[in-house]
Amino acid sequence: MLNVLRRLWGQGAGNQTATIRRQIELANQVALFGAIATIPYQFFYAIADFSLYLSVFLANMICITGYIVVVLFNRMGRYWLASVLLLVNATLQIFVVTSEISTSAGVHFFYFTMASVAVFLFHRARLSIYIGLMVLLMFLFLVTYFLFPAGSTPAPVPAPWIHIMFGVSVVASMALSAVVLFLFRHSIDQTQHELLLTNQRLERLSGTDQLTGLANRRELDDVLEVAWTNVARYRMPLTVLMCDVDYFKRFNDRFGHADGDRCLKQVADALQQVCGRPGDVVARYGGEEFVIVLPGTDRAGAVTIGEQARKAVEALRIAHPDSPAGVITLSLGSATSDRGHNTVTELLDAADRALYRAKEAGRNAVVFASA
């Protein structure tokens, strides 16, 4: 039952932004409630005295049709029109029914409900329009209250039914406000949660290379900046290893870009495995180049990690028939901050020059920057 209702009030809400989705769902919820809540009254009019209540019965039938059209308008994407129709339909229905059976039936209390949901029905409305709407609803409430007191209407409802109607109207208008506002809050909570997840994802993505999941160039710059601050402040050693996959162009040319991507991902994972110490960062520098940042690691440590990284890639045994080694290999250039570098850029340049020498020396090697 709840699922059917949910599907009904979700008409037209899919593929919309969160704010419009809320407006559509709210209009549909109020329209469904209006249509369903009118039915018991209709039964009463039909059973009690159909000839006496004919005009209010017919008016209600028109209004039920109006509520259905609200849902149809939303389904067609005319959500603004749907909200206007809902407001006009409900306001007129409350007025007409009260004018027929008097305020002692309590139907005019539904003006309170309309007042509590109106602001959400027209989320883009200016304050002046909203105030105007509130004044209109207050005015209508007072008019019905003073114009149609008990005994003043053409089709009075006899006791005890009139008391029952009063009770039902008050309870129903309170229940409608409560349910609609609760669902509304629920939808806001949900949107906030979605927003939080999206923000977290964006935060991660902005610093992450999509293919390998490693830190990207932007994140690397931040990491290096912090690491270099520690070098300057605490005289902590810092090692950077510039790594480049050997003959990768040939690999791509032979196996295609998709296999090339898969290979880069495997190399990235292998490097990540080697550099597991907290603070170590492996970043994709671009293309088939990676940078390993090792804060607190001196030249001796760099020798160990550099060799481990080289061997880890070789151990992947990714076939590369166009490379002398027969498998994918890595060349590395290492530079450590104790060699008199003044800036982090100088350190990176030193590592880059060492990498160049590793390539010149035949690849699949680690070369350390000299002083």
Ligand X SMILES: Nc1nc2c(ncn2[C@@H]2O[C@H](COP(=O)(O)OP(=O)(O)OP(=O)(O)O)[C@@H](O)[C@H]2O)c(=O)[nH]1
Kindly list the residues in this chain that would bind ligand X in the complex (CB under 6 A): 211, 244-250, 252, 257, 260-261, 264, 287-288, 359, 363
CB of 252 to ligand X, least distance (A): 5
CB of 272 to ligand X, least distance (A): 17
DSSP state of 154: S
- 3-class secondary-structure state, position 99: helix
DSSP state of 367: E
CB of 248 to ligand X, least distance (A): 3
Calculate the alpha carbon distances from 181 to 30, 86, 93, 113 in Å.
Answer: 11, 17, 22, 10
In the complex with ligand X, which residue's Cβ is closer, 339 or 359? 359
In the complex with ligand X, which residue's Cβ is closer, 262 or 299? 262
In the complex with ligand X, which residue's Cβ is closer, 36 or 211? 211
Q: What share of the chain is helix, strand, coil (3-state, %, to 5)?
A: 65, 10, 25
How is residue 250 written in tokens? 């040939």
How far apart are the C-alpha atoms of 225 and 244, rounded to whole Å? 22
| In contact, 106 and 165? CB cutoff 8 Å | yes
| In contact, 292 and 244? CB cutoff 8 Å | no
CB of 244 to ligand X, least distance (A): 5
Beta bridge partners of 244: 289, 331
In the complex with ligand X, which residue's Cβ is closer, 25 or 246? 246
How is residue 216 written in tokens? 């990207």
CB of 345 to ligand X, least distance (A): 21
Instruction: Please choose, from the candidates 162, 283, 265, the residue with its C-alpha nearest in 3D space to the C-alpha of residue 218.
Output: 283
In the complex with ligand X, which residue's Cβ is closer, 299 or 363? 363
How is residue 260 written in tokens? 């090339």
CB of 265 to ligand X, least distance (A): 9
In the complex with ligand X, which residue's Cβ is closer, 122 or 255? 255
Instruction: Please choose, from the candidates 194, 357, 322, 347, the residue with its C-alpha nearest in 3D space to the C-alpha of residue 252.
Output: 322
Q: Which residue in the shown chain puts its C-beta closest to ligand X?
A: 260
CB of 256 to ligand X, least distance (A): 8
In the complex with ligand X, which residue's Cβ is closer, 159 or 258? 258
CB of 203 to ligand X, least distance (A): 23
Angle between helices 344-360 and 217-234 (to 10 degrees): 110
In the complex with ligand X, which residue's Cβ is closer, 98 or 364? 364
Q: Could you count the other beta carbons within 10 Å of the beta carbon of residue 198?
A: 10
**Residues whose CB is less than 8 angstroms from the CB of residue 170 and which lie 6 or more positions away in sequence, other chains included:** 106, 109
